[in-house]
Structure 1
Amino acid sequence: MAGQTITLYNGQHEQTTDALVKAFEQQTGVRVKVRNDDEDVLAQQIEQEGSHSPADVFFTENTPPLARLEEKGLLSPVQRTTLSQVPSQYDAASGDWVGVSARVSVLVYNTTDLTPAQLPKSVLDLADPKWKGKLDIAPSETDFAPIVTSIAQDKGDAAAVSWLKALKANAGSHQDPDNETLVANVNKGVTELGVINHYYWYRLRDEVGQKGLHSALAYFAGGDDGYLLDVSGAGVLKSSTHQAAAQAFVAFLVSQAGEQVLTKSDSWEYPVGSGVTNPTLPPLDSLHPRQFDLSQIGDGTKAVTLLQQAGLL
């Protein structure tokens, strides 16, 4: 394998992937050519390229793009020894892709404007008109889609659309293009609260320092529709002409060495492979997210449809 070059289509955060790639190259002698883009854009490109795709591995921030390729039969089964390093709830039931890291959806709030006692216990409560002009949303973010799917599966599609329309009304002009903007707005007091994945707040804390921090995180009630674990994953393309090297890269991602790279990076994600933990975060087993099978999220098309019906996409 040493001396080979594989192509990675990367939808994960670039800084995290760069650190993982560097460590893998040093360990194996395999060179990794990285193409960075939005994970949905990359998934669409792989579909269009079909059996001629130059991609060997697809690494995503969320599972729906992997599920799309899985459904179309474009992924090779991940090696069993690799899958065995990760609890099965973080992998595809088919074994076509493996979970690498996890984030939890949380509420971020401005600590000057709100106290913990004033915070909603459920994501559904954000539809209350009392949050009009105070709520910030980033509906086009891929992290938001699983919450929409969760509500639709629990309450029905009509209820999910009604909830989304209420959020749109409450947010008004505060519909941000990404979670980085959302968390910055809440921290500055432009808005008072919003839903994000936890790591955006930790990265903001690194950026502004303790003196510049005017926000905090809070969890919804255990099992709430908005309290989810989102998983980053990776899979090998069936069309890859470097199957062994591609499988080795995916195996590295969930190995102790790979997960330690993740833990020591500034990604602030939870490693899910090889029993590695991130001591700088609340323990993963101390969280109480909704028990939501990753297969229930599917390829993300339902969430997109509902967001479009609500006028948020």
Structure 2
Amino acid sequence: MDFFLILIVGVIVVTLLVFFYYVPFFLWINAISAGVRISLIQLFLMRIRRVPPRTIVYAMIEAHKAGLKSITRDELEAHYLAGGHVEKVVHALVSASKANIDLSFQMATAIDLAGRDVFNAVQMSVNPKVIDTPPVAAVAKDGIQLIAKARVTVRANIKQLVGGAGEETILARVGEGIVSSIGSSESHKSVLENPDSISKLVLRKGLDAGTAFEILSIDIADIDIGKNIGAVLQIDQAQADKNIAQARAEERRAMAIAEEQEMKAKAQEARAKVIEAEAEVPRALAEAFRSGNLGVMDYYRMQNIQADTDMRDSIARPGASTKGDNKK
């Protein structure tokens, strides 16, 4: 008997748990007490559609208490089923309404589905955000490098959040504007004297076009003097010219050595030919003796002429020995 009683009690408890899970009665009481009209059947159908009733009901209560009565249950369910964040959207709509920011439910859901935090965007519209740029190096016309840091105050542009560029684009454009402003300055001293000229020039460029933000101000936080880029470039150019000149001189030296070697080779070749020709002289003399074309007197006369030539050479070159002296 006790077993059947326990079984009946267990079945009743399980039945009540399943009932209250699929029919959130107490959640329905909360909605009715807050002035939100919703039926138990709709709450039951939310469970069937795998939509959390607590999320939808509390979002409707928040919107109703904030005076946003145009938001319907179907719109919240559709946004949840699309993968959106219902709580953030309702928080953003309530904040925008209190801050007198024109933000419709369709725009808020579009921003949320685009992957942006719509609640933080509304907060940024009310409280602007300060973005610190990384150090930006630029060179003035006098060749001195300046390293500047800027603080950019931005406010979220609700209408440009869908499809608008982010903070990275803002930082890149501000850095480009700083480089352009410093590069157009005649001297680095003028930039150090009037750093606000950079921010004014950058602000006039309209750097927030096509972005999800509106630039309110650009303030130069710090400017440091870097290297003398002009002098460094001149030194590098002089070193490059020196290396080129050395290379050309080495090339000319190599060519001169090659020409000298070629002249020596030609001289040796000519000397070899002379030696070869001198070797033919005794043969020619012997042949002339045999053929009778050369007599003994002719030969001695030729020797005397050779001795006179050697003597003249010794006179022209003092200290040099001649063949005639060797004979004596």
Q: TM-score range by the shorter chain?
A: under 0.3
Superposition TM-score, scaled by structure 2 size:
0.18
- TM-score, with length taken from structure 1: 0.19
* Greater relative contact order (CA < 8 Å, ≥ 6 in sequence): 1
Q: Which has the higher helix share?
A: 2
Q: Whose strand fraction is larger, Structure 1's or Structure 2's? A: 1
